[in-house]
C-alpha cells in the first residue's frame, strides 16, 4: 500500500496524531481483558466486546492476518472530564472520522479490520447474545476488548494520550492488507 497517498489525504481529517505500525508491535495483554471482565459494565453486553470477540489469543491471531496498522487519534473538549455521559457524547464525531478513514483505506484497495474506542453504540439496545449483530459490517470491535494495551501502543508510537485539562483523546486502530478481490 502507498502510505504517502494515505498521508496526503490525512490532513483533510481532524486527526491529532497518527502512526503506521507493525502488527507484531501491538501489545496484547491478558491484564487488559481482566479489566474488561472485572470492571467494565459492557462486558458480556455487546458483540463488539468480550467474550463475543473471542479470547485475547484469538484476537491476536485475527490481527495477524493483516500486513500493517494505522493508529490515529482525535481530540474533543469537554466541560467536565468526570461527566462520563458528556464525554461519551463526543465519541460520535470520532466514530464518524474512523468510518471515513476506513473508506479511505478501502478506496486504496485495502481489506481492513477497524478497532475503535469503547463498546459499539450503533444500536440503542445491542442484540447480544440473543440474535446476530444487526450491522456486522459497520460495527467496530473495541480496541481494549481485543486485549490491546492502548496506552502502551500509543507510547510506543510517540502518541500523546494525556492532552491536558478537559481534553479527551479518542483512539482507533485500522489494520490493513492488500485486497485479494
Contacting positions for ligand SF4 (CB under 6 A): 46-48, 120, 122-123, 126-128, 133-135, 139
Nearer to ligand SF4, 123 or 156 (CB): 123
Nearer to ligand SF4, 46 or 73 (CB): 46
Residue 113 in contact with residue 172, Cβ under 8 Å?
Answer: no
Cα 143 to Cα 66: distance, rounded to the nearest angstrom: 16
Cα 99 to Cα 118: distance, rounded to the nearest angstrom: 15
Q: How far is the CB of 82 from ligand SF4 (least distance, A)?
A: 26
Q: How far is the CB of 41 from ligand SF4 (least distance, A)?
A: 14
Nearer to ligand SF4, 44 or 152 (CB): 44
Q: If we measure between CA atoms, which residue out of 150, 179, 177 comes closest to residue 69?
A: 177
Q: How far is the CB of 48 from ligand SF4 (least distance, A)?
A: 5
Q: How far is the CB of 9 from ligand SF4 (least distance, A)?
A: 27
Q: How far is the CB of 89 from ligand SF4 (least distance, A)?
A: 17
167 backbone φψ class: left, alpha, beta (φ>0; ψ -120 to 50):
beta
Q: If we measure between CA atoms, which residue out of 108, 166, 175, 109 comes closest to residue 140?
A: 175
Buried b / exposed e across 100-120, counting CB within 10 Å, b at 16+?
Answer: ebbebbeebebbbbbbbbbbb
Nearer to ligand SF4, 47 or 70 (CB): 47
Nearer to ligand SF4, 64 or 127 (CB): 127
Amino acid at each position: 500500500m502507498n502510505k504517502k497517498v494515505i498521508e496526503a489525504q490525512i490532513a483533510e481529517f481532524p486527526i491529532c496524531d497518527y502512526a503506521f505500525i507493525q502488527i507484531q508491535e501491538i501489545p496484547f495483554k491478558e491484564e487488559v481483558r481482566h479489566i474488561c471482565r472485572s470492571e467494565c459494565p459492557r462486558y458480556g453486553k455487546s458483540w463488539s466486546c468480550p467474550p463475543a470477540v473471542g479470547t485475547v489469543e484469538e484476537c491476536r491471531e485475527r490481527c495477524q492476518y493483516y500486513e500493517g496498522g494505522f493508529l490515529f487519534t482525535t481530540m474533543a473538549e469537554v466541560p467536565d472530564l468526570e461527566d462520563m455521559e458528556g464525554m461519551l457524547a463526543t465519541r460520535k464525531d470520532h466514530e464518524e472520522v474512523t468510518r471515513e478513514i476506513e473508506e479511505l483505506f478501502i478506496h486504496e484497495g485495502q481489506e481492513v479490520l477497524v478497532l475503535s474506542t469503547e463498546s459499539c453504540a450503533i444500536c440503542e439496545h445491542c442484540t447480544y447474545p440473543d440474535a446476530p449483530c444487526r450491522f456486522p459490517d459497520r460495527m467496530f470491535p473495541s480496541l481494549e476488548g481485543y486485549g490491546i494495551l492502548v496506552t502502551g501502543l500509543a507510547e510506543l508510537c510517540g502518541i500523546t494520550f494525556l492532552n491536558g485539562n478537559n481534553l479527551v483523546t479518542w483512539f482507533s486502530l485500522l489494520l490493513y492488507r492488500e485486497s485479494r478481490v
